[in-house]
Amino acid sequence: AIANTTSLAVDKTVTSVGQTQVTDQAQIPEAVTGDTISYQILVENTGNVALSNVVVSDTLWTAGQSITVDGGSQTTTGEATYTIASLLPEQTVTITYTYMVPDTAAGSAVSNTATATAGSVSAQDTASVSVKRQHTINVEVVNGTASATDLSNGTITVNHGDSVNIS
């Protein structure tokens, strides 16, 4: 007789960053603040016994988060989880969701982990997206004099709309 085994697999991927589709997880483009990152989580029963009450969580989820489960709209619970009632052997459930990159992530990364747990069986996977630091330069023109702050080792070009040189 074959022994009963219970096991899970979680595969978390980035499917798009801003308007760019991601086809290779080794080549995820950098995000900028305000970009939307789309994620996909595959939860698979890799054992030979049906699993019930598989609790899925993600470190980016909040209570009431909108997610899509196998094509249908769902929301997470107050604990920011989603429960798969039953997962048959070799069955995979696909969960997708989006996340908007906050200003506080500039110059770092959005790194998060998806976890699936059914009783004593658990699996997780992490995805990470680097976020570019964007420098804002404020240029103010007062009485024909332009001044700039926070040059950040960059170059400033000021165009004032006519052919008179500005010095």
Question: Comparing 91-95, 101-105, 120-124, 161-165, which segment has the lowest mean pLDDT?
Answer: 161-165
CA 104 to chain centre: 14
Task: Look at residues 73, 60, 74, 13 and name the one whose alpha carbon lies nearest to residue 38.
Answer: 13
Using the predicted structure, report yes or no on whether residue 10 has a pLDDT greater than 90.
Answer: yes
Q: Which of 36-40, 141-145, 154-158 has the lowest mean pLDDT?
A: 154-158
pLDDT 10s digits, 121-140: 999 999 999 999 876 566 66
Q: What pLDDT is recorded for position 154? A: 54
pLDDT of residue 54: 97
User: Measured between alpha carbons, how far is 12 from 80 in angstroms, rounded to an integer?
Assistant: 17
Q: Is 68 helix (H, G, I), strand (E, B) or coil?
A: strand
For the stretch 43-76, pLDDT in tens is 999 999 999 999 999 999 988 889 999 999 999 8
Considering only CA atoms, which of 92, 87, 60, 100 is closest in space to residue 76?
60
Residue 79 pLDDT class (50, 70, 90 cuts): confident
The tokens of 150 are what? 């926070």
Strands 51-58 and 81-87: antiparallel
Mean pLDDT for 106-135 is: 93
Residue with structure tokens 């016994």? 49
What pLDDT score was predicted for residue 16?
96
- For 27, the 3-state DSSP assignment is helix
